[in-house]
């Protein structure tokens, strides 16, 4: 019987080692204890039957020692281990498609405690990762459908909205099946253009995205069904990207590649931009060419400048020679990429915010028109020196006071007063300070306290015995005296 037992043990051990089952490590002390325990049991039973009591006691001692070794070296059996790509208590095979586990597009949750579910790569779904996710397309399921944003295709791309990202967002409209900027909007996000005429340049216009594209004929091919402007035009900038929104130029492109992976010279945005049998490669780069405007203003009148067509420093809104006092040029100042203000770049020898001082070794040696005193300070002004209705005492010897126009003639220069000549002299009315009806000048001997006196000592009166409704807000109507 012992020989039969040994044979059975030997054959069983061979079968275990030849199987895929991984045998857990067995402690040497446990094996030694089992040997002594079984040997002691065999001796005890055999010798007891032959009345050899002392040797039987020795057998019992071996059993005790074997039990001790087993107790301090217990056999801890690990959970059964399934082979690669099998799972569960029965080690079932993981899902397969196209002859591959998880179709080669995912990883199986295998092992004894595994669920057998395929964890699909981005773009794939199905029990065995055998199908494209609804938001993806292409033979490799690595391109988002129109309206979804790369690389995850889990949120709407710029310009799209709705539960299925199939509606155009605010500021966008559908052209050729794609959401693009409406007229009057610019940039990647289709922001509204600024009001380029707000500072007075009535001829200024905003360059929206449409206007930018029209300036570059190479970008005008609109045959692309996805609304992309001529996808084959691209000079790579070296910046990597996933979609247009990643690039300041608004153009993210790849190259077409052949079936063997060779890149061609043709640029593409999607697979259908490539010849039949070729695909648009995954590696993408931003293009230097831009189809997204910066929304800057194009100025239409001289004296206005910058991205918002603002009046240049010193510009009197009439004569462009007044810009920077005629001694400099207008320039836009930026903080990084953000426009801050317009400034003057003075000609050599001239200095100051408006280039009003010609600098010598010890100070100003000459002042530009409209500047006065040793430091060439600016004369009082509104948009023009003395409001355009007077003459400033300028120059190094000037005191900067305005001598306002006072012309009594109908259709003349008008009558003005104030530090900047922005108010009407008495007996003058309206924005142009025109003389009131029947305005006449009298000498000192005729003047009364009810008349308006001139700097010369003479006086003026209008409306005969009535009172003129004068001033900037007046209408020049003669009213009966109260």
Question: Which pLDDT score, from 0 to 100, does residue 232 have?
Answer: 76
Contact 451, 459 (CB under 8 A): yes
Q: Return the DSSP state at 17.
A: H
CA-to-CA distance for 468 and 252, rounded, in angstroms? 71
Of 442, 444, 414, the C-alpha closest to 429 is 414
pLDDT tens profile 66-105: 667 667 777 666 666 788 899 988 889 999 998 899 999 9
What is the per-residue pLDDT for 395?
94
**409, 437 in Cβ contact below 8 A?**
no
Cα–Cα distance, 169 to 467 (Å, whole number): 63
Residues 240-259: tens digit of each pLDDT:
888 887 888 888 888 998 88
Domain with CATH 2.10.25.10 in the chain: 86-133
Tell me if 187 sits within 8 A of 293, measured CB to CB.
yes
Burial 92-106 (b: 16+ CB within 10 A, else e): eebbbbeeebbbebb
For 147-160, give the secondary structure using H, E and C. Answer: CECCCCCCCECCCE
CATH superfamily of 86-133: Laminin (2.10.25.10)
Beta bridge partners, 343, equal: 331
Predicted confidence at residue 6, as pLDDT, reads 42
**pLDDT tens figures, 14-42:** 555 565 555 566 777 666 656 756 666 66
pLDDT value for 446? 82
Q: What is the pLDDT of residue 355?
A: 95
pLDDT in tens, the chain (482 residues): 444 444 554 555 555 556 555 556 677 766 665 675 666 666 666 656 565 666 666 667 766 766 676 677 776 666 667 888 999 888 899 999 988 999 999 999 998 888 999 999 988 999 999 999 988 887 788 778 888 887 788 888 888 999 999 899 999 988 877 788 888 998 888 899 999 999 999 999 998 887 776 666 555 554 444 445 677 788 898 888 888 878 888 888 889 988 888 899 898 887 778 888 888 888 889 988 877 888 889 999 999 999 999 999 999 888 899 999 999 999 999 998 889 999 999 999 999 999 999 999 999 999 999 999 999 999 998 888 999 899 999 999 999 999 999 999 888 899 999 999 999 999 999 999 999 999 988 888 888 888 889 888 899 989 987 899 999 999 999 998 77
């Amino acid at each position: 019987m012992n020989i039969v037992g040994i044979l059975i043990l030997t054959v069983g051990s061979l079968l275990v080692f030849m199987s895929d089952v991984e045998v857990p490590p067995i402690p040497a002390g446990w094996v030694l204890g089992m040997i002594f325990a079984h040997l002691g049991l065999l001796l005890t039973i055999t010798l007891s039957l032959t009345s050899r009591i002392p040797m039987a006691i020795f057998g019992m001692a071996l059993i005790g020692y074997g039990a001790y070794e087993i107790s301090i070296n217990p056999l801890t059996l690990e959970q059964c281990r399934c082979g690669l790509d099998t799972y569960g208590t029965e080690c079932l095979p993981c899902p397969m498609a196209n002859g591959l586990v998880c179709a080669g597009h995912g990883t199986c949750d295998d092992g004894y405690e595994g669920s057998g579910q395929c964890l699909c790569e981005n773009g794939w779904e199905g029990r065995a990762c055998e199908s494209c996710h609804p938001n993806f397309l292409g033979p490799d399921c690595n391109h988002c459908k129109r309206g979804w944003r790369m690389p995850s295709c889990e949120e709407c791309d710029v310009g799209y909205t709705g539960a299925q990202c199939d509606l155009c967002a605010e500021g966008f409209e559908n052209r050729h099946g794609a959401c693009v900027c409406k007229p009057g909007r610019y940039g990647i996000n289709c922001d509204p253009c600024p009001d380029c005429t707000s500072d007075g340049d009535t001829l200024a216009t905003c360059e929206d995205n449409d206007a930018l594209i029209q300036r570059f004929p190479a970008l005008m091919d609109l045959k692309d069904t996805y609304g992309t402007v001529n996808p084959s035009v691209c000079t790579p900038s070296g910046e990597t990207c996933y979609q247009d929104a990643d690039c300041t130029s608004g153009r993210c492109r790849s190259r077409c590649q052949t079936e063997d992976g060779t890149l061609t010279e043709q640029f593409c945005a999607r697979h259908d931009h490539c010849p039949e049998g070729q695909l648009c490669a995954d590696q993408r780069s931003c293009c230097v060419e831009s189809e997204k405007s910066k929304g800057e203003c194009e100025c239409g009148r001289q004296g206005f400048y910058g991205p918002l067509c603002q009046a240049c420093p010193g510009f009197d809104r009439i004569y462009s020679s007044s810009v920077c006092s005629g001694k400099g040029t207008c320039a836009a100042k930026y903080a990084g990429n953000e426009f801050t203000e317009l400034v003057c770049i003075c000609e050599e020898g001239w200095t100051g915010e408006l280039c009003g001082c010609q600098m010598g070794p010890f100070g100003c040696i000459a002042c530009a028109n409209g500047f006065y005193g040793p430091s060439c300070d600016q004369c009082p002004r509104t948009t023009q020196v003395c409001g355009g209705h007077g003459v400033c005492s300028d120059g190094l010897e000037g005191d900067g006071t305005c001598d306002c126009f006072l012309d009594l003639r109908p259709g003349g220069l008008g009558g003005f007063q104030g530090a900047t000549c922005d108010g009407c002299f008495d007996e003058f009315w309206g924005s142009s300070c025109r003389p009131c009806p029947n305005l006449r000048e009298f000498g000192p001997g005729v003047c009364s306290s009810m008349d308006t006196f001139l700097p010369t000592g003479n006086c003026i009166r209008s409306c005969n015995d009535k009172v003129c409704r004068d001033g900037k807000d007046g209408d020049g109507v003669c009213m009966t005296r109260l």
